[in-house]
Amino acid sequence: MELIQPIFVNQSGSTREAGLGIANSSYSQTDIIERIQKDVDLGIDSFLLFITPDTKTWLPTWDFQAEVVNKIKNKFPTIQLIVDVCLCSTLPDGHCRVIDKPDTSESLLIDLGRKLEKAGADVLAPSDMGDHTVTNLKQETKKEVMAYVKWRSVFYSSFRDLAKAVLQVDVHINFLWTMALAWWLLPINTRVRKQITYF
């Protein structure tokens, strides 16, 4: 069984803690190198990276994400670096996709995947739950793809704290979101449940 260490890095220049304990803080670009080195010394060689930019925008360039991945892979070329592919830490409303704009969402996620691939990511890990994200990433990049779902984890609220992704919803969208959660969790939806990776 392969264990994957989740790590968080931010653009603020300082390391901060959320509800996941000090060992799972959101690290600065400097401190993240030290954090990974400690894990590598313990024999850990696979990491799931969450990158949080300071600026929330509808038109991301993904430059910071590429910079972080490139820096880590240059320092640790032999580790397996899995990188989260989602929009929640970047969009102003904290959603994983651009609401009601599937084409825009897919374009942004493809662009992010390409930037991460070029920067040196080993595996792309989409967590936006979009219908076509996995297929798009497989077609548009040459990287392995590992899809998973963040919100099924007990760590999800703390993840949003670390990612500074405060979810903004109106009553209508909140109702639809609640219904979607219920559908995903129904025991009869075995086809969907088999595709979910829990952590």
pLDDT in tens, 118-150: 999 999 999 888 889 999 999 999 999 998 876
Question: Which domains does the chain show, CATH number per domain?
Answer: 5-169 (3.20.20.70)
Contact 133, 106 (CB under 8 A): yes
Each residue's pLDDT, cut to its tens digit, for the chain (199 residues) gives 478 998 889 898 888 876 666 667 889 999 999 999 999 999 999 999 999 998 899 999 999 999 999 999 999 999 999 999 999 889 988 888 898 899 999 999 999 999 999 999 999 999 888 889 999 999 999 999 998 876 555 555 555 566 655 555 544 445 444 444 444 444 444 444 444 343 3
**How big, in percent rounded to 5, are the helix, strand and coil portions of the chain?**
40, 15, 45
Q: What are phi and psi of 187, to 5 degrees?
A: -55, -30
